[in-house]
Structure 1
């Protein structure tokens, strides 16, 4: 797993669970059976086809708008990392963007 080849999950503009699930599905190229719920996300995160360093950016708006959901999302990410520490690393970006530019990189698995 290399930190210089991250997959960026940009949550800018996300304020609800459905949008978070859509972004996860798109960026991580989750399978068609992904049910867009917490259990399905946990299953998919522990079954990624290759090691992933996931950098979550723009999460602050979601955390303010849906604090309970954001706590659940953090728990799902943390549990997945604990279960697959050599396959998944999740980093939260504290700034507005990642990679030193005004626009986040358009990295994805798909």
Structure 2
């Protein structure tokens, strides 16, 4: 843990850490592109809500880890621009967290209250 960052601490604990920075995202296609890039989603990811839910429900494509943490930053602009889509995104993230809760490799999705880094 060289500089004491969250990423360093999680890496030392063998957790997979991803920052999903949504700064500048104002529509669903940009949201899906950002998810694909940040999370390293597989090529078969269909860039729709069901596909995102499927990928987060079956993490066989993700690196092996003791746990997984996705921190969503810069989400406020997206939430204001397309509140309906933001609501669906929150549901998908919550369902994925519920799916992996209590397993040996939990998935947690957290919203950062500050801006993007």
**CA RMSD of superposed structures (Å):** 1.6
Return the structure number with greater helix share. Answer: 2
Alignment of 1:1-110 (within 5 A): 4-5=9-10, 6-48=17-59, 49=62, 50=64, 51-85=67-101, 86-97=105-116, 104=117
Runs of 4+ in structure 1 over 4 Å off: none
- TM-superposed CA distance for 1:87, in Å, is 2.8
- TM-superposed CA distance for 1:84, in Å, is 1.1
| CA distance in structure 2 between the partners assigned to 1:84 and 1:42 by the alignment | 12
Q: Residue by residue, what CA displacement relative to the aligned partner does 1:19-72 show, whole Å, maximum 9, x if unpaired?
A: 111011011111111000001000101222333200000000000000000000
Unmatched segments (≥5 aa) in structure 2: 1-5, 11-16
Between 1 and 2, higher relative CO (CA 8 Å, sep ≥ 6) is seen in 1
TM-score, with structure 2 as normaliser: 0.77
| CA distance in structure 2 between the partners assigned to 1:78 and 1:13 by the alignment | 23
| CA distance in structure 1 between the partners assigned to 2:99 and 2:47 by the alignment | 20
Instruction: Choose 1 or 2 for highest CA Rg.
Output: 2
